[in-house]
Amino acid sequence: MTTATSLDQAFLADFHDTYQFGATPANGVDRQAGTREDGQIRDWFRERAIAAGMEVRVDSVGNLFALYNWDPSLNHVFLGSHLDSQPLGGRFDGCYGVIAALHAAQEINARVQAGELEPVHNLAVVDWFNEEGARFQPSIMGSSVVAGSMDRDKILATKDSKGISVKEALEDIGYLGTDVAPIPTAYAEIHIEQGRLLERHKTEIGAVTQSWYTQKLLVTVNGEQSHTGATYMADRHDALAAAAEIVLKTEAVVDTFPAEEIVTSVGQLTVEPNSPIVVPRQVNMVVDLRAHLRSQVEEARTRLLEQFKEIEARRHLTVLAQDYDIRDHQHYPLEGIELTEKAAAEAGQSCMRIETMAGHDSVPMNRIVPTVMVFVPSVDGVSHCEREFTRDEDLVAGVKVLAEIASKLVSGSLDAVEPGEAEL
């Protein structure tokens, strides 16, 4: 077993090394899926994996795997997350989980080579393609294809705002793979919390129990173009003014729910024709609704659709809303939660059970194999922002916990456990 300090130092050296890829002036990263920067960090990861004696594979939707194949007849425990980021995103979201997995895997390999561990499964570290869903929508693409909840060909044909397809982008960075993906038997992912509960409770490890219910609404407002100077106000059908009301109503709909149980936002909005002296004819926007309970999202959705009707009638225009990217609750198996709690206790780390408000690759994976999701604290609960930060000591503590969980998974601890249930 490598001594803890060498594991810590090797992990921190690698993790800090990743900051260079897509580095932004305010200490963030911009490494959107399939971009040159995404390709650069993947090349770097591939080199580190090969140097650690791993076999590297790339599948047909750009998922990147690094494998320890101790016995070619065995399937693989997966450890992973994602290297892609949001625009002007944080250095930790996703990338931490991949580098933590890479070093946890090396720790487990050292134990296997030293005869301290007899694995009944091989081990795979994975960088899932396009978890973030910034450039290509929806999010959580690569793991959803492996989990069977998204169609491979549809994903490859998905285009970004410049009309470039996933297939073309992957070809450009050399990651349109032809390898057969390994077969998962269990999955574990460590990730920054991106919220503020661990910090609020002064707790070092989060054992994730379930994901929040989430959905998006693709909203199109159709008004009419006119001259911003020559058209009387009564004659205007201003799609952007209507959209502005929708943005504020999306924010206000949470007011009638218990605090911190539901969150809503409009994160993406495009205006047509976007000319300074033309009243906008069309606005396309994405409404993001997430809550602790499915019923809360459904109630908020009903209220918003009623408000959209009122805006339509008053402003003599149309508002179309389409349900999109619906993710049911996923309950992580109790046995996996208890694995995290035991591993944290062994590592002398405080631990609490927590729900994830953000989506992760572990959500689709949780549908096909027993999945363990672990959090480390986020300073100020900030994420998807250059200010995102987690302290080195918390990162290192997480790697140790992940290594302990991985050692139990490769020893078959969850072999008799079903994947997490979706809330019916």
Binding site for ligand HGY (CB under 6 A): 131-133, 139-140, 358-359
Q: Which stretch binds Mn ion (CB under 5 A): 87-95, 181-189, 226-234, 272-280?
A: 87-95
Q: How many residues bind Mn ion (CB under 5 A)?
A: 2
Nearer to ligand HGY, 169 or 317 (CB): 169
Nearer to ligand HGY, 106 or 137 (CB): 137
Q: Was 93 annotated as part of a binding site?
A: yes
Parallel/antiparallel/unpaired status of strands 282-291 and 76-81: unpaired
- Residue 47 CB, nearest approach to ligand HGY (Å): 27
- CA dist 420 and 368 (Å) reads 8
Contact at 8 Å (CB) between 135 and 33? yes
Identify the residue among 30, 93, 193, 388 touching Mn ion (CB under 5 A): 93
Nearer to Mn ion, 289 or 319 (CB): 289
- Residue 133 CB, nearest approach to ligand HGY (Å): 5
Q: Which stretch binds Mn ion (CB under 5 A): 1-9, 91-99, 346-354, 391-399?
A: 91-99
Residue 30 contact, options Mn ion, ligand HGY, none, Cβ 5-8 Å cut-off depending on partner type: none
Backbone angles phi, psi at 397, to 5 degrees: -60, -40
Contact at 8 Å (CB) between 357 and 378? no
- Residue 364 CB, nearest approach to ligand HGY (Å): 11
Helix (H) or strand (E) holding 416: none
Of 82, 37, 43, give the one whose Cα is nearest residue 63: 82
Nearer to ligand HGY, 106 or 383 (CB): 383
Residue 359 contact, options Mn ion, ligand HGY, none, Cβ 5-8 Å cut-off depending on partner type: ligand HGY
Q: Give residue number: closest CB to ligand HGY.
A: 359
Q: Which stretch binds Mn ion (CB under 5 A): 85-93, 114-122, 267-275, 391-399?
A: 85-93
Residue 139 contact, options ligand HGY, Mn ion, none, Cβ 5-8 Å cut-off depending on partner type: ligand HGY
Q: Would you call 158 helix, strand, or coil by DSSP?
A: coil
Q: Was 132 annotated as part of a binding site?
A: yes
Residue 94 contact, options Mn ion, ligand HGY, none, Cβ 5-8 Å cut-off depending on partner type: Mn ion
Q: Give residue number: closest CB to Mn ion.
A: 94
Amino acid letter, residue 217: L
Residues 6+ apart with CB under 8 A from 189: 79, 80, 81, 97, 101, 360, 361, 362, 365, 371, 372, 373, 374
Q: Is 94 in the site for Mn ion (CB under 5 A)?
A: yes
Q: Was 76 annotated as part of a binding site?
A: no
Residues 6+ apart with CB under 8 A from 397: 204, 205, 347, 349, 376
E-strand stretches of 50-180: 55-58, 64-68, 76-81, 122-127
Residue 133 contact, options Mn ion, ligand HGY, none, Cβ 5-8 Å cut-off depending on partner type: ligand HGY
- Residue 132 CB, nearest approach to ligand HGY (Å): 5
- Residue 255 CB, nearest approach to ligand HGY (Å): 23
Q: Was 331 annotated as part of a binding site?
A: no
Of 355, 330, 407, give the one whose Cα is nearest residue 120: 407
Amino acid letter, residue 305: L
Alpha-carbon torsion (97, 100, 103, 108), positive or negative: negative
Q: Which stretch binds Mn ion (CB under 5 A): 92-100, 264-272, 278-286, 404-412?
A: 92-100
What's the distance, Cα to Cα, between the start and end of the chain in Å? 44
Amino acid letter, residue 211: S
The CA-based dihedral angle spanning residues 20, 22, 24, 28, taken in that order and rounded to the nearest 10 degrees: -80
Q: Residues annotated as binding site?
A: 82, 93, 132, 191, 384
Q: Which residues bind Mn ion (CB under 5 A)?
A: 93-94
Q: Residues annotated as binding site for Zn(2+)?
A: 82, 93, 132, 191, 384
